[in-house]
Amino acid sequence: RKEVEQDPGPFNVPEGATVAFNCTYSNSASQSFFWYRQDCRKEPKLLMSVYSSGNEDGRFTAQLNRASQYISLLIRDSKLSDSATYLCVVLNYGGSQGNLIFGKGTKLSVKP
Amino acid sequence: NAGVTQTPKFRVLKTGQSMTLLCAQDMNHEYMYWYRQDPGMGLRLIHYSVGEGTTAKGEVPDGYNVSRLKKQNFLLGLESAAPSQTSVYFCASRQDHEQYFGPGTRLTVT
C-alpha cells in the first residue's frame, strides 16, 4: 500500500461548483498534514496545513480524520484560477528523517 | 530574499554525458531535497540532506550523487546520463512545516 493515496482525477467542474478531494495515508503515526498546489509546469506550493479540528481558509476547507487516516479538501465556489493539481502531503517526524511524503496529486480543471 | 533557486532551468544531454544541477536557498534551512517528477509518477525523492555535510538516499537514488558542502547549496550530479533520467528535477528546502520548492530543471537525455 502506498504511503499517501489520492484519486488522480481529473475532476472537471464548472465555475461556481463545490468540489472535494480525498486522500488516505498508511502510517498511523503521521503527525502533520498539508495540501500543496501545483500549477502546470510549475513547482508545488503550500496551500494549507490540515489541523485535527479542521480548518478553513476562504473558499478552502481541510479536514482530518485520524481514526480513518483520511484527509479531505473542499473547494467552494470554484474559480477558473483553481485549476491545478492538488497534492496531499504527510510529514512523519522521526521516521525518514522528517521527510514530507507526497501523494501523486489530484488534477482539477474548472471550466467556464 | 530569492527563496530556492535552481540552475540551469533547461538542459539537453547526450547519453553518457555528465552534469551537475545546483540548488541554492537563502532561508538558512537545514533540510534540503532533490526530487524528480515524471508524468503519472508524482514527486519521487532522490536524495536529501538534514544539514551541512550530510546526505542520505531517498526513494530513487541510483544514477545520482549529491553533495552539501555549504548549508545553502545542494548539488545533484549525474555521472553518466541515461534516457531514463529525462525528467523535471525539483529542489526543495524545509525548516519546520513548510517545504519551499525551486522552479525546477527540465532535463532531456537523448
8 Å CB contact of A49 and B45? no
Give just the sign of the alpha carbon dihedral B25, A97, B48, A49. negative
Q: Which contacts (CB < 8 Å, 24+ apart) does range B58-67 have?
A: B58/A99, B58/B33, B58/B34, B60/B36, B64/B34, B66/B34
Q: Which residue has better confidence, B28 or A93?
A: B28
Which residue from A34, A98, A103 is facing B31, i.e. has the nearest CB? A98
Q: What's the one-letter identity of residue A14?
A: P
Of B90, B97, B101, the CB nearest to A49: B97
Report percent pLDDT > 70 for chain B.
99
- Please give the Cα distance from B93 to B90 (Å, whole number): 10
Cβ contact (<8 Å) for B42 and A34?
no
Q: Which helix (H) or strand (E) holds B37?
A: strand B31-38
Q: CB–CB of B31/A98 below 8 Å?
A: yes
CA of A21 vs chain B CAs: smallest distance (Å):
17
What pLDDT sits at residue A53? 87
Give the B-side interface with A, CB within 8 Å: 31, 33, 40-43, 45, 48, 50, 56, 58, 90, 94, 97-99, 101-104
Point out the residue among B41, B98, B104 whose CB comes nearest to the CB of A46: B98
Least Cα distance to A71 among A52, A58, A93, A47 occurs for A52
Give the H or E element holding residue A25.
strand A19-25
Task: Tell me how far apart the alpha carbons of residues A83 and A107 are, in angstroms, rounded to a whole number.
Answer: 8
CA distance A77 to A83: 13
Q: Which three cell numbers stand for residue A19?
A: 468540489
Place of cell 526513494: B59
> Could you give the count of Cα atoms lying within 13 Å of B1 in the half-sphere of its Cβ?
4
Among A72, A89, A90, which residue's Cα sits nearest to residue A19? A72
pLDDT class for B47, splitting at 50, 70, 90? very high
pLDDT in tens, chain A (112 residues): 678 999 988 999 999 999 999 999 998 888 889 999 999 999 999 999 998 888 999 999 999 999 999 999 999 999 999 999 999 999 886 655 557 889 999 999 999 9
Residue A87 has which C-alpha cell? 497534492
Spatial neighbors of A53 by CB under 8 A, at least 6 apart, are: none
CA distance A21 to A89: 13
User: What pLDDT, in 10s, does the model give residues B53-72?
Assistant: 999 999 899 999 999 999 99
- Stretch (H or E) spanning A36: strand A32-38
